[in-house]
Structures are given as structure tokens and as C-alpha cells.
Amino acid sequence: MAGRSTSAAAAEPGAAPRTRRSRITPEREAEVFGAVLDLLREVGYEALTMDAVATRTRCSKATLYRQWVGKPELVAVAVRQDKAAASPSDIDTGTLRGDFHAMADQIGDGRMQRNTELMRGLVHAAHSHPDLLKALRELFIDPELNGFNAMMRRAVERGEIPADTPALAYLPHMLVGALITRPLIEDLLVDRAFFVDYVDSALLPSLGVEVSAT
């Protein structure tokens, strides 16, 4: 499971020794992840502490450190698990356009908007916290990129996109750019309607996929 990685940043000062003697239940793990995401939205990354997570979940800090290296890893895994239900690698509708639309349907307006706010805050924090950036890359960004690459490979194999399409290399940049810049340009969060229109009007045409008017 992603939450068991030991490759992220070192533990925070004062952390309990890591023994990994026991694993918490999936239900308890989900509770911890939920608390981490709630605290991120309430106070931001800098103010979030393992003590606060322990208090919010009525869990000992030693237990948290037995499961995760420290705050950067715990945050990265929590973000990853929150998006796991809509992983690109799990979506295969038979067309690339259908895959993107299905992704939007799975995420839904509420989660999409919450995730936009959350990612904006994490992108800002990652500039000042290399350990967070490292954990996000290893535990969230790389798995997401692998999922999108799998989606693109299927589209290439179906003949929807030529393998040498230049824009393929910039797909992640285009997707993240849309999420980050809409609030800056329009003072609006990304919702399903915006995401679907962006996919049909900008992303798919850049990949050479024709979108028929409906």
C-alpha cells in the first residue's frame, strides 16, 4: 500500500523510533487521511502538525510514526488516497474523450473544487519544503503520471493519437495548468463543466483528437 512507503523524507525532530510492528486497520487509516486533508484545508501545510493529527483522530503520535515517516509522507499519501477512486489507470471507456469525461464524473464538482484549493496550497508549500516536494513526487505525482501514461498508451493503441504527437509530453502540464490558473484568471474553482469543456475545447484538439459537436 502507498501508505507504507519508507522512501520519503526523514522523520520530524522528536519522532518516535519507527518499528512498523503493527498495521492500523483500513478504517483507522482512512480516518487519519481524512483528518490530514481537513487540517490542510483549515490551517495549511506549514501549521499542520503530527500532534494535531493525533489529537484530531485520538491516535498516539507514536502510532502515526510507526506507519509513516513524518508529515511530508503522511500528507502525500493522504492526497494520493483521496484521488485513488478516480485514478486514470482504472478508467477505460474505449475512447480518450470518454475516459476524461468519466474521470470528471467520478471526481464530481465538490471534490474537484476541494482538490483545486488543496493543490494550490500544496504547490505553494512545496516551493519552501523540499521534503514535501520529494514525498509528493514519489507518492502522488509519479503514480498519477503513470496512470495518465497508461491512458495515453491505450489511446495510441486504439489509433486515436499518433505515438509521435508532440503534445503528449505536455499533457500533465496542461491539466495541472488548468486547475491552478482558473482561480487566478477567473476567481473561480474548477468544476466538472469547466473541466469537460477544457478537455473538449483545448486538450483533445491539442492531441489531434477531433471532437464532434453534440
> pLDDT for 152-209, tens place per residue?
999 999 999 999 999 999 999 998 888 888 888 999 888 999 999 999 999 999 999 9
- Contact (Cβ atoms closer than 8 angstroms) between residue 189 and residue 117: yes
Average pLDDT over residues 12-37: 73
Q: Is the pLDDT of residue 60 over 90?
A: yes
- Contact (Cβ atoms closer than 8 angstroms) between residue 142 and residue 89: no
Residue 213 falls within a domain, yes or no?
Answer: no
Report the predicted TM-score, pTM, of the whole model to 2 decimal places: 0.77
pLDDT band at 78 (very low <50, low <70, confident <90, very high): very high
CATH of the domain at 7: 1.10.357.10
pLDDT for the residue 196: 95
Residue 178 falls within a domain, yes or no?
Answer: yes
Residue 87 falls within a domain, yes or no?
Answer: yes
Average pLDDT over residues 57-62: 94
pLDDT for the residue 8: 39
Residue 141 falls within a domain, yes or no?
Answer: yes
Residue 126 falls within a domain, yes or no?
Answer: yes
Structurally, the chain folds into a number of domains equal to: 1
Q: Is the pLDDT of residue 93 over 90?
A: yes
Residue 115 falls within a domain, yes or no?
Answer: yes
pLDDT band at 6 (very low <50, low <70, confident <90, very high): very low
Residue 35 falls within a domain, yes or no?
Answer: yes
pLDDT for the residue 84: 54
Q: Domain containing 127: what range?
A: 2-206
